Amino acid sequence: MARILIIGSLEAELGTAARIAAARGARLAVAEGAAAGLERLRGEGADLVLCDVMHDVAWLIDQMAAERMACPVVACGRPDDADGAVRAIRAGAKDFLPLPPDPDLIAAMLQAVAGDPERPVVRDQAMASLLARAEQVARAEASVLIMGESGTGKEVLARHIHAASRRARGPFVALNCAALPEALLESELFGHEKGAFSGAVASRRGKFEQAEGGTLLLDEIGEMDPRLQAKILRAIQEREIDRLGGSAPVKVDVRILAATHRDLASEVARGRFREDLYFRLAVVRLRIPALRERPGDILPLARHFAKRYARANGLPQRGLAPAAEAVLMAHPWPGNVRELENTLHRAVLLAEGSSIGPEAIDMLEHLPAIAPDAVPLPVALPVAPPAKPVSALVGRRMEEVERDLILETLSHCLGNRTRAAEMLGISIRTLRNKLHEYRAAGVTVPPIPGQPPFALPVG
């Protein structure tokens, strides 16, 4: 369940955004202004902040950075307030949500921060027995280590364990340990006292305290620095944590789930992961098979995503043609469920007939990530439909291929930045920076839907 902090008045159109988010299961908190919002973030944290551009978004973002808070901020305002939008984006807002809000955009934002609230789709026997085991261990209090390749559904499984546990009514808090530099990760996890570092003007509770009575997922734990590994071990063993700069430990009642795509046992053997922490975390180990190891899940998942993305895009529901099913079954899915999801998202947008045919199944080739600040690429660049093998791209410059892919994806998404970034597996900010570069080089960029092309010069 996503925890959203809304900064602004609910009487205006922001209230509509709040109602849509609440109807989709988000847990809401409201603050009247940026200072009050910051105060709530120090206390309870949030997965996402929606801030009306009437308030000082730039101050809020600066303050959050100074206090080492990593939560994304989305600015909201009238679509004709281009100045407000530009200011907010320049200040570091992740996105601009035009009001009145588009329910699909809110759904996409919620999904991006909190994953899919639905039950995992499972058909293959390998996965069904894993799910049964997960439900069985959910009721215990032991830590669980979830292993599996990237995109196999580790976070989905963690949420399922939380939902099936006695802590289901408590919060589920997730933190990606690979996404943050060490200092930021430390204060995200443990919080800090006033004066702990130069920007710490007030005390703040970290994720451990925010997850009180619930579950904390430490995603990509294999990437964690050994110093922080020691602190996590202490939190599990002693059930208490130390805020940065704190003088007394704080008791915490939190169940820890950890996920990794690495083979942690061999990380231990290489001296890169603490053995004692490994044994603490791995009381129960669940390994999610790669999608190619559970072919029985491919078509049920594909149908599920086809339905979901048709609904999200306001398109008619279409089934998969047998030839399209054959293409899906023949692919090895190195990017696992996330790759399948992106493929079906594209297919729903590309399909033209009464069913989704093989021509709409447009697999991506797997090349190394290009953008250095992109989120780990679940499916990599560039596009190579079956009729255009990757060899056709040989001789072209990487940045040129990347540009074509980005612009093409954006026009498939009818200019919708949030969806395009999601499909490309990069952050909205990376997408925006790229578009800005292209525009500066004189390339035509599809406008934001419902806005004139010049309204938002930053993309």
What gap in Å lies between CA 448 and CA 93, rounded to an integer? 17
Considering the rule CB under 6 A, would residue 261 count as an interface residue with ligand ATP?
A: yes
- Nearer to ligand ATP by Cβ, of 195 and 300: the residue is 300
Query: Binding mask 63-102 vs ligand ATP (x if CB under 6 A, - otherwise)?
Result: ----------------------------------------
Q: Is the separation of the CB atoms in 420 and 409 below 8 Å?
A: yes
Q: SS3 for 8-19, per residue?
A: CCCCCCHHHHHH
Q: Can you tell me which of 8, 153, 335, 357 binds ligand ATP, judged by CB under 6 A?
A: 153
* Residue 275: other Cβ atoms inside 10 A: 13
Q: Can you tell me which of 8, 77, 84, 151 binds ligand ATP, judged by CB under 6 A?
A: 151
Considering the rule CB under 6 A, would residue 293 count as an interface residue with ligand ATP?
A: no
What gap in Å lies between CA 334 and CA 97, rounded to an integer? 33
- Nearer to ligand ATP by Cβ, of 95 and 219: the residue is 219
- Residue 26, φ and ψ in degrees, nearest 5: -75, 150
Half-sphere exposure of residue 68, counting CA atoms within 13 Å on the CB side? 29
- Residue 181, φ and ψ in degrees, nearest 5: -65, 160
Within 320-349, the residues that bind ligand ATP by CB under 6 A are 337-338, 341
Q: Kindly state the greatest CA–CA separation across the chain.
A: 66
Residue 299 beta carbon to ligand ATP: minimum distance, rounded to whole angstroms:
13
Tokens of 453: 């092309």
Considering the rule CB under 6 A, would residue 191 count as an interface residue with ligand ATP?
A: no
Query: Binding mask 363-392 vs ligand ATP (x if CB under 6 A, - otherwise)?
Result: -------------x-x--------------
What gap in Å lies between CA 447 and CA 455, rounded to an integer? 8
Within 108-147, the residues that bind ligand ATP by CB under 6 A are 115-116, 120-122
Residue 351 beta carbon to ligand ATP: minimum distance, rounded to whole angstroms:
20
| Sole residue written with tokens 């009464």 | 354
- Nearer to ligand ATP by Cβ, of 121 and 350: the residue is 121
Q: Can you tell me which of 63, 143, 152, 343 binds ligand ATP, judged by CB under 6 A?
A: 152
Question: Cα 237 to the chain's mean position, in Å?
Answer: 29
Residues making contact with ligand ATP (CB under 6 A):
115-116, 120-122, 148, 150-156, 219, 259, 261, 301, 337-338, 341, 376, 378
